[in-house]
Chain A
Amino acid sequence: MRNRNRLLAHAILIFVFLQFLPATAVAGDPEFHALVERVSAYYQKRPMRGMGLLSFIANRFTPQGVGHFQMAIFDDITSPRTALREELESSLQGLVGPDYQPFVRAQDNRGGDLTIIYIRESGKQSFEMLIISIDSSDAVLMKMRLRPEAMREWMDEPVERGKGSSHHGGSSAGK
Chain B
Amino acid sequence: MNVTERRICINSALILFGAMLLGVSSPPACGQNPKLDIKNLEPLAKKASEVVDVNLDGSLLKLASKFMTDEDDREGLEIVKGLKGIYVKNFEFDKPGEYSQADVEAIRNQLQTPSWSRIVSARSKHDGETTEIYLMTESDGGKVLGMAIINAEPKELTVVNIVGPIDINKLSSLEGKMGIPRLSEEEKESTKKSEGHDEKQK
Interface residues of A (CB under 8 A from B): 101-110, 119, 121, 127, 148-149, 151-152, 155-159, 162-163, 166
| Contact assessment for B179 and A110 in the assembled complex, using a CB-CB cutoff below 8 Å | no
Please, how many residues of chain B have a CB less than 8 angstroms from a CB on the other chain? 28
Given A103-B54, A103-B56, A104-B55, 17 new contacts (CB under 8 A): A102-B55, A104-B54, A106-B50, A106-B52, A107-B45, A107-B50, A108-B50, A109-B49, A121-B63, A148-B66, A155-B178, A157-B179, A159-B90, A159-B158, A159-B179, A163-B52, A166-B50
Can you list the 9 inter-chain pairs with the closest CB atoms, starting with the nearest?
A148-B67, A105-B53, A158-B54, A162-B52, A107-B51, A106-B52, A159-B90, A152-B67, A159-B52
B6 CB contacts on chain A under 8 angstroms: none
Q: In terms of DSSP, what is the predominant structure of the interface of chain A?
A: mixed
A38 to B38, CA, bound (A): 32
Contact of A104 among B53, B92, B94 (CB under 8 A): B53
Q: Is B60 an interface residue (CB 8 A)?
A: yes
Interface residues of B (CB under 8 A from A): 45-46, 48-57, 59-60, 63-64, 66-67, 69, 88, 90, 92, 94, 158, 176-179
Contact of A109 among B48, B177, B178 (CB under 8 A): B48
Q: A104: nearest residue on chain B (CB-CB)?
A: B54
A119 to B69, CA, bound (A): 19
Q: A148-B67, A155-B178, A159-B90 are in contact. Are A103 and B52 (CB under 8 A)?
A: no
B49 CB contacts on chain A under 8 angstroms: 108-110
Contact of A155 among B64, B69, B92 (CB under 8 A): B64
Least distance between B86 CB and chain A CB atoms (Å): 9
| Contact assessment for A158 and B88 in the assembled complex, using a CB-CB cutoff below 8 Å | yes
B67 CB contacts on chain A under 8 angstroms: 148-149, 151-152, 155
Which of A110, A157, A158: most chain B CB closer than 10 A?
A158
A149 to B52, CA, bound (A): 23
A103 to B64, CA, bound (A): 11
| Contact assessment for B176 and A156 in the assembled complex, using a CB-CB cutoff below 8 Å | yes
A121 CB contacts on chain B under 8 angstroms: 63, 66
Q: A110: nearest residue on chain B (CB-CB)?
A: B49
| Contact assessment for B55 and A106 in the assembled complex, using a CB-CB cutoff below 8 Å | no
A127 to B94, CA, bound (A): 35
